[in-house]
């Protein structure tokens, strides 16, 4: 019995299933979470299936979270999706259920749960859930689940610009069987507000680029003055990727306590190894981390430059 069959047996066993994902979720976290929920509800209408976590203003259009009382966790199956480390799980009640399953596509740096299905070669958890629902009877891949999973799939692949494999496109083809307005979803995911558009000028004016590494540090005062909100800076991380002179880059966003949220991206160098040195992690070319102060920001930039230089030397030697 393979891991997917074992997970299905557990799902069939429990009357109540509660699905968690990581804090500050991206489209894949919410898309895979809600896509799995919709598929399980369609297959097992007699079961109680919940998706929990904080509502994120910029992603409420994808779907809403459920309010679940502590007592619901009694004799429940808990599934945590798209979360490599237990400290990042949104809602710490994940360990109050009867059984725990981890489904993830990040490196398995912290094994947890009674069952683990981890495939770091997958583009996204949405890709994993698409195949899970489509290939394991009696599970059903429905129109509702397909919509959510498509959002997650294009979110983590940047509209298939990176992290995509032949299996990724096969998963997309399965989702395209359904009558979904894919063009509308694509437009929604690539659009920014007028406030964000105007703030782009600030970003381009303040960004630094040295030795093929780009970065920007934004203070709380700047963010509040621009009325961006806590998640309103997410669009900035993609701006560096369009600059041909930039190979790796970082966004440093100040938190209320003076520390900084760090977003790392790359066109080749492994930024995940850097993220793990700074209380973070993720993918080889897309990771998140934390910096406690400006000195740690300087250290991260230095590490990015070192990694980028090594990558360029390796690439040159292979030509």
Q: What is the pLDDT along the chain (319 residues), one digit of tens a residue?
A: 799 999 999 999 999 999 999 998 999 999 999 999 999 999 999 999 999 999 987 888 999 999 999 999 999 999 999 999 898 999 999 999 999 999 999 989 899 999 999 999 999 999 999 999 999 999 999 999 999 999 999 999 988 887 789 999 999 999 999 999 999 999 998 888 899 999 999 999 999 999 999 999 999 999 999 988 767 888 898 899 999 999 999 999 999 999 999 999 999 999 999 999 998 888 888 889 999 999 999 999 999 999 999 999 886 655 5
Q: Is cis: bond before 215, omega within 30 of 0?
A: no
CA distance 9 to 17: 13
- Residue partners of 131: CB distance under 8 A and separation at least 6: 167, 171, 174
H or E element, residue 198: helix 194-206
**Do the beta carbons of residue 231 and residue 192 sit within 8 Å?**
no
Report the pLDDT value the prediction gives residue 316, as an integer from 0 to 100.
63
CA distance 7 to 105: 16
Buried/exposed 160-180: b ≥16 CB within 10 Å, e otherwise: eebbbeebbeebbebbeebeb
Q: What residues are paired with 209 via a beta bridge?
A: 214
Both tokens of 168, joined, read 């990724």
Report the pLDDT value the prediction gives residue 202, as an integer from 0 to 100.
92
Report the pLDDT value the prediction gives residue 69, as an integer from 0 to 100.
97
* CA neighbor of 281 nearest in space, from 106, 153, 116, 158: 106
Cα 133 → chain centroid: 20
């Amino acid at each position: 019995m393979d891991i997917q069959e074992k997970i299905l047996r557990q799902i069939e066993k429990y009357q109540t299933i509660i699905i968690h994902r990581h804090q500050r979720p991206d489209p894949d976290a919410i898309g895979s979470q809600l896509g799995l929920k919709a598929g399980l509800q369609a297959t097992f209408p007699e079961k109680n299936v919940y998706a929990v976590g904080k509502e994120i203003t910029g992603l409420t259009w994808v779907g809403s979270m459920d309010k679940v009382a502590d007592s619901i966790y009694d004799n429940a199956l808990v599934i945590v999706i798209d979360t490599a480390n237990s400290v990042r799980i949104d809602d710490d009640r994940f360990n109050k259920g009867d059984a725990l399953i981890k489904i993830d596509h990040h490196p398995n740096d912290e094994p947890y749960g009674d069952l683990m299905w981890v495939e770091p070669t997958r583009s996204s958890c949405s890709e994993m859930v698409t195949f899970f629902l489509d290939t394991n009877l009696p599970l059903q891949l429905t129109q509702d689940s397909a919509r959510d999973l498509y959002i997650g799939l294009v979110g983590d692949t940047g509209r298939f610009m990176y992290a995509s494999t032949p299996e990724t496109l096969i998963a997309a083809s399965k989702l395209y069987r359904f009558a979904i307005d894919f063009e509308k979803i694509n437009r929604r995911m690539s659009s920014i507000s007028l406030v964000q558009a105007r703030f782009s000028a600030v970003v381009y004016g303040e960004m630094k680029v040295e030795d093929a590494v780009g970065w920007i540090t934004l203070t709380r005062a700047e963010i509040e003055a621009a009325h961006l909100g806590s998640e309103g800076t997410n669009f900035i991380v993609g701006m560096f990727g369009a600059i041909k002179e930039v190979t790796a880059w970082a966004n440093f966003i100040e938190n209320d306590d003076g520390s900084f949220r760090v977003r790392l991206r790359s066109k080749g160098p492994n930024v995940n190894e850097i993220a793990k040195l700074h209380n973070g992690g993720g993918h080889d070319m897309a990771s998140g981390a934390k910096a406690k102060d400006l000195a740690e920001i300087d250290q991260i930039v230095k590490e990015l430059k070192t990694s980028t230089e090594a990558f360029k030397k390796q690439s040159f030697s292979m030509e």
